[in-house]
Amino acid sequence: MRGWDQKYFRKALLCACCAALSLAAQPAPAQPGGVMPAPVLKPGEGLALALEGGDIQTFGEGRAVSPMGGLAKLVWLRVEGSGWSTGSVKFRCQGTTGSLACGIPPGHGTVSLAKALEEDCDLAFLAWIAEARTRWVKDYGPEVAWYRVGEVFEPFLGRRLLANATLPVFATPWVGDGDLLRTSPEGFLRWLLQPENAEVSAFGRRTLAGFWVEVSALFGKENWWFKTATASVPGVPGATSAWVAGGRGSTLVVFHLPRGKGKPEALARLREILGLKS
């Protein structure tokens, strides 16, 4: 792909995200049928993006399905995020809880919901999920509680649970460990775009784009928000791939890096593709 196409892609994306940038960008030639030139992706990379209007474009391995890893925490925000946010939940991560170990041996320390999401604290989410499960069983009964959770997670479960499955004890696979939950860049982006899931993007925007995001937005300077995550690679113990989901205004993007990549590489690579400063 020619360098001109890559440059045009970056300009087109940024113009759609920020009116101020669109005034500074040079006019670009119209493309046949309104098709945006493809960004230059490396082998194995997958990208899905939706500009204003919600039309999804996929590039590279954007439709390839793989374990979703820590993106599962965004799905839990759809289930219980409002309650957790309103209740200002906290958790003290000391590195281990029973037989479970944190990804950071010393632990994350005391985390809020925003910090646990940003730093991928599995132990915090599992503790909050366990508390919520107890409350659901008491308030709704196990059948209704499972229907409530299963309906949200169904797009990512496929047929990997029995048809007559009952409310489980939510362990590490439910926050992204292993390959129980799977998606593709396009699939997760479609899920984010569904009206009933709008609060997930709104929460990401408020908590991951910086404290002054609401004020900055009033002046047309809204920041990007990004949620990074790692995921297992089926059949390759210890190997990981990496995800980034994020957005700015009405623009949403989901990016996946293949085996051997971590969260810093994924975020740096996506910023490079989008033409953002490091």
Model confidence band, residue 12 (pLDDT cutoffs 50, 70, 90)? low
Provide the token pair at 172: 């590490």
Residue, of 2 and 91, whose pLDDT is higher: 91
Residue, of 165 and 243, whose pLDDT is higher: 243
pTM of the model: 0.83
Q: Is the pLDDT of residue 13 over 80?
A: no
Which pLDDT belongs to residue 205? 82
Q: What is the DSSP letter of 25?
A: S
Residue 136's CB: how many other CB atoms inside 10 A?
19
DSSP E strand boundaries for 121-219: 182-183
Which pLDDT belongs to residue 3? 46
Q: CB of 256 within 8 A of CB of 46?
A: yes
Average pLDDT, the chain: 83
Q: CB of 188 within 8 A of CB of 231?
A: no
Q: CB of 68 within 8 A of CB of 112?
A: no
What is the pLDDT averaged over residues 38-66?
A: 92
Alpha-carbon distance of 265 to 256, in angstroms, equals 11
Q: Which residues contact 158 (CB under 8 A, 6 or more apart)?
A: 182
Residue 4's CB: how many other CB atoms inside 10 A?
11
pLDDT digits (tens, 9 = 90+) for 223-266: 788 999 999 998 898 899 999 999 988 899 999 999 888 899 99
Q: Is the pLDDT of residue 106 over 90?
A: no
Q: Is the pLDDT of residue 276 over 50?
A: yes
- Among candidates 230, 239, 254, 201, which has minimal Cα distance to 45? 254
Which pLDDT belongs to residue 37? 66
Which pLDDT belongs to residue 25? 33
What is the pLDDT averaged over residues 135-141?
A: 95
- The number of helix segments (H) and strand segments (E) in the chain equals 10, 11
